[in-house]
Amino acid sequence: MLLGFAQFFVTGALSGLWLVLVGWFLDNAARTEERSEHARHALEGVHVAQVMTRDPIRVPSWITVQLLIEQYVLRYHASAFVTHAIDGRAEGLVTLRAIRQVAGGQRSERRARDIATPVDRVPAARPDELLLPLLERMSPEVADGHALVYENAELVGIVAPAEIGRLLQSGALPGGQSRAA
């Protein structure tokens, strides 16, 4: 990068700016890879149970998005809600982003089930599973990176990207353990 700045200011050549851009890109890529490797190292040995939110909030799949907002989103600090059928069976996962994408005029017409990701499309794990393999199955394109946790075929928790991020930012692992960077 410095070579590019020097070339641009000394000779006025635009190729110097190109070198700056290439250098900046490579520097960012290296920093991103370093952060990713640090995160992988910090999460080694962490189990899903240590980062999941137990007993996820369940909402009837038939309620309107407006009622979902009024009765659940404004009341609970959660990034996702499990929709359930009349028989109590989990049907889908509604994220805050999915709710936000519903236009204001449609919120009293659309149902929670309309904006939910079906449970069979959401990555699933067991509480005793290591977190890293689950992270490899999670994707921002599916349920905004959330995963569902099952124990003996019963839904017992949700893994949210925000919780993993908080864990990494704090430098502390569940149980009071801490790992140096």
Are β-strands 117-118 and 177-178 bridged in parallel, bridged antiparallel, or unpaired? unpaired
* pLDDT number for residue 120: 96
Domain match, 63 and 119 both: yes
Rounded (to 5) percent helix, strand, coil in the chain: 50, 20, 30
pLDDT digits (tens, 9 = 90+) for 116-146: 999 999 999 999 999 999 999 999 999 999 9
Which positions ≥6 away from 170 have C-beta within 8 Å? Answer: none
Give the pairing type, strands 80-84 and 58-60. parallel
Residues 19 and 62 placed together within one structural domain of the fold: no
In the predicted structure, residue 11 carries a pLDDT above the cut 70: no
Taking each helix axis from N to C end, the angle separating 2-11 and 14-43, rounded to the nearest 10 degrees, works out to: 170
Residue 175's pLDDT band (cuts 50, 70, 90): very low
**Is 85 in the same domain as 154?**
yes
Are residues 100 and 21 part of one domain? no
Q: Is residue 7 pLDDT above 80, yes or no?
A: no
Give me the amino acid identity at 45. G
| Residue 1 pLDDT greater than 70, yes or no | no
Least reliable range by pLDDT among 38-52, 86-100, 104-118? 38-52
| Confidence label for 19 from pLDDT (cuts 50, 70 and 90) | very low
pLDDT at 167 (0 to 100): 80
Give the integer Cα–Cα distance in Å for 147 and 125.
7
From residue 58, give the alpha-carbon distance in Å to each of 37, 108, 118, 136: 35, 19, 14, 26
Residue 14: domain span: 2-43
Q: Are 94 and 59 in contact (CB under 8 A)?
A: yes
pLDDT above 80 for 159: yes
For residue 141, what is the domain's CATH number? 3.10.580.10
Is residue 12 within 8 A of residue 95, CB to CB? The reply is no
The reported pTM is 0.75
Q: Which residues, 6 or more positions from 32, have their beta carbon under 8 angstroms from its beta carbon?
A: none
Structurally, how many domains does the chain consist of? Answer: 2
Give me the chain's average pLDDT, please: 83
- Quick one: 115 and 32 in the same domain? no
